[in-house]
A and B are shown apart, each in its own frame.
Chain A
Amino acid sequence: MVDQSAVGREFTSVTARVEPGRLRFFLDTLGETNPVYRDETAAQAAGFTAAPVPPTYLFCLEMMDATMPFEFLTALGIDLARVLHGEQRFDYHAPVVVGDVLTFKPRVTSVTDKKGGAMTLIVVETEVTNQAGVHVADLSRTVVVRNARPS
């Protein structure tokens, strides 16, 4: 079981490029037709230098370009089959648009046992910066681990 020693652990930084083709696949999958995401003119009219990414897309970029997308689970000895997504938060500080190259730096910020150890909540916070070094966003992911019952 994951314990407090995991707090503060950092994982491999991920560098991801916001590519228009991959973004279009995401938009098509969600049935997203808002022109601000698809049309440069509409994006510029909305104040962006290029098409912005939808509100949850940062989460995807980190996973898409990670060499080991589930590194934090492996590193902490957690079975992927026992994990659920409990909460997700995004704090946006600056625009992210097509063409940006982002760096994600994830680290564990808390570990909490629930229900007498039947579940463990792990919070991973990820700072995101762009190619100019601008801090564009912070992500916070709460993972719920369904711990194995003692036999």
Chain B
Amino acid sequence: MSATSPTVGDRLVHKEFPPITRHRLALYCGASGDHNPIHVDIDFAKAAGFPDVFSHGMLVMGYLGQALTDAVAPSRIRSFSTRFAAITQLGAKLTCEGTVTELIEQGGEHRGVGRNCNRSKTALPRPVLTGGGLG
């Protein structure tokens, strides 16, 4: 978000990420502390009824968070939420797009509400941003 007077419809974010690989999921398993085998162990995933391992939702949200703080200083984010609309499969190439959807005043601050989504529609986050430069 620009530091001065954002308006509804402004594009905050556009960022592409590399395809999700098994290696990335293994790294994320260790780096995040989420050791659920469904993301790294194909035998476990199949036994659970899935064709293969799939991404941690929080890896997708981590990418969205990265795209967000490329545009907005971390200290200005008040809230960040995501609905995981679909499973992110191996090989998925995420593109994060974010626009300002609303400007509000809350807690004595001018806040912008943004919606980010990625093109494969696996996550629909709604970060609430704020800062002296907003509004």
**Which residues of A are interface residues toward B (Cβ below 8 A)?**
22, 25-26, 28-32, 34, 36, 46-48, 52, 54-56, 59-66, 69-70, 80-92, 95, 140
8 A-B pairs with least C-beta separation: A64-B33, A63-B33, A89-B81, A55-B65, A81-B48, A85-B57, A29-B31, A60-B32
Assess whether B61 is in contact with A56, with CB atoms less than 8 Å apart: yes
Across the two chains, which residue of chain A brings its CB closest to B125?
A: A88
Answer whether residue B73 sits at the interface, using C-beta atoms and an 8 A cutoff: yes
**Which residues of B are interface residues toward A (Cβ below 8 A)?**
17-18, 24, 27-28, 30-38, 44, 47-48, 56-59, 61-63, 65-66, 68-70, 73-75, 77-84, 87, 127
Assess whether A87 is in contact with B28, with CB atoms less than 8 Å apart: no
Interface of chain A: mostly helix, strand, loop or mixed: mixed
- Which residues does chain B contribute within 8 Å of A22, judged by CB atoms? 31
Assess whether A29 is in contact with B58, with CB atoms less than 8 Å apart: no
Assess whether A34 is in contact with B32, with CB atoms less than 8 Å apart: no
Could you list 18 A-B pairs, sorted by A, with CB under 8 Å?
A29-B24, A29-B27, A29-B30, A29-B31, A31-B18, A36-B73, A46-B73, A46-B75, A47-B73, A48-B75, A54-B66, A56-B65, A70-B36, A83-B36, A88-B57, A90-B79, A90-B80, A140-B81
Interface of chain B: mostly helix, strand, loop or mixed: helix
- Tell me the smallest distance from the CB of A40 to a CB of chain B, in Å: 15
- Which residues does chain A contribute within 8 Å of B24, judged by CB atoms? 29
Assess whether B77 is in contact with A80, with CB atoms less than 8 Å apart: no
- Which residues does chain B contribute within 8 Å of A88, judged by CB atoms? 57-58, 61, 81-82, 84
| Complex Cα–Cα for A34 and B74 (A) | 11
- Which residues does chain B contribute within 8 Å of A84, judged by CB atoms? 57, 84, 87
- Which residues does chain B contribute within 8 Å of A32, judged by CB atoms? 66
